[in-house]
Amino acid sequence: MSPNNPGPSPRRRTSTTVFVALLIGGLLLLIVRMLSMPTVSAGEVVLPLLAGIGMALAIGVMVMRDRRERNALPPSERNRQDRGMPD
């Protein structure tokens, strides 16, 4: 921990909080939009809500796995641009 190398920065949780807030906000918009239609009952909202929750969970798992894999890389490769195809 020299002045030139202050060590690892504390982990910021703001990106995770924003990510979760956007997923929850999207689900709430789905529910509100479906309930605002005059021909849709509350029972018909259940299936799209479950599908939305499943999609949010799948996106969350993919993002968390990608972050875990990126954190496992050595620092020299961690900030390298992703080329889309594995080596």
Q: Give the tokens for residue 41.
A: 């009952």
In which residue are the tokens 């939009």 written?
A: 33
Q: How far apart are CA 28 and CA 68, in angstroms?
A: 28
Q: Which residues contact 70 (CB under 8 A, 6 or more apart)?
A: 78
pLDDT at position 12, please? 57
Whether the pLDDT of residue 37 is over 70: the answer is: yes
Q: How far apart are CA 26 and CA 10, in angstroms?
A: 29
In which residue are the tokens 């002045």 written?
A: 3
Q: Is residue 7 in some structural domain?
A: no
pLDDT band at 36 (very low <50, low <70, confident <90, very high): confident
Q: What is the mean pLDDT of residues 5-22?
A: 68
Domain count, the chain: 1
Q: How far apart are CA 40 and CA 35, in angstroms?
A: 6
Whether the pLDDT of residue 24 is over 80: the answer is: yes
pLDDT digits (tens, 9 = 90+) for 52-67: 888 888 888 888 888 8
Domain boundaries, position 37: 15-77
pLDDT at position 1, please? 47
Q: Is residue 59 in some structural domain?
A: yes
Q: Is residue 31 in some structural domain?
A: yes
